[in-house]
Amino acid sequence: MLKLFNPTDEKIEWRNGAKFWELLRRYPQFKKDAESYVADPDVRLFSNDCNIAACCMKWMVKPRFQKLPRSRKWVVWDGPNLTRTEARSFKPLRMNQPWAETPEKFRKELASMTRYSLQNPTRQPVCFKLPPFGNIDESTEEWGFENKIRLNRINSENILIGIPRGSYTNAEVDQLMKRVKALYRRDQSILRNRPQSFLGSPKQWVAFLLVEQEKTVQGACSQWEQIYYNREYQVHLALERHKNKIRKLAKIITDWQSRVYPGVSRD
């Protein structure tokens, strides 16, 4: 019997988010970087192409609030986007929390970042301009602070690529779009058409989780017999029948970890 949470059992619109979290929280490199981030949240340890990992990291610290100079409103400057009331009872995300035990608001946020890739993307590109800041001296700290907050809000939901203004021919626009595509693929290389096997199929996850649960391939083989064949072979027979298959399937999940979190840039 599989006792650990299997992300492939999650409802389809949240399934990719569940897979990302279950992969990341088990990955030593992510755990190491997340621990450093929690210890010093002012240090940006993740690169722009790891926005999903960044989402997970920010939920591991309590939010910090700042009052806007002009409106006097309190806004989140660091950490998860919570209200001050929500923040009072908020407990930071922990590595040992299975997806089902994480805060619902975290699950919704991570799922919203990944669900559109289940089929062909349905989200449409947006065209926007930064809202005016009014009569504020751009050299002052006040203007810079509000500017950062607004940019952070836009950046959290979009990939920002600037195209210089100018009167371009169609051929020149085509060339610019090729460069935009190259930038997008570099920063979002994992966003592609995703079949059910993306981030691991149900059987791949079962094999991976059984090895983790039982601590040995031999124990995983015995459980595999019970789950998929509803029978209990002698231990040595189950091992001979399934050891190569389980090792192969479990390795696929392990390989996904380094693909979704290749590490951070510290340049």
* Domain residue ranges of the chain, discontinuous segments joined by +: 202-260
Please say whether the beta carbons of 63 and 82 come within 8 A.
Answer: yes
Task: For 55-72, give one letter per residue: b (16+ CB within 10 A) or e.
Answer: bbbbbbbbbebeeeeeee
Please say whether the beta carbons of 146 and 68 come within 8 A.
Answer: yes
Residue 131 identity (one-letter amino acid): P
Higher pLDDT, 41 or 120: 41
pLDDT the model gives residue 54: 84
Residue 141 identity (one-letter amino acid): E
- Label residue 80 exposed, middle or buried (CB < 10 Å: 0-12, 13-18, 19+): buried
pLDDT of residue 25 exceeding 50: yes
Strands annotated E in the chain? 64-67, 74-78
Which range is most confident: 97-111, 163-177, 250-264? Answer: 97-111
- Least confident span in 2-16, 90-104, 194-208: 194-208
Q: What is the value of pTM for the model shown? A: 0.70
Distance of CA 138 to the CA centre of its chain: 35
What is the percentage of the chain residues whose pLDDT exceeds 70?
70
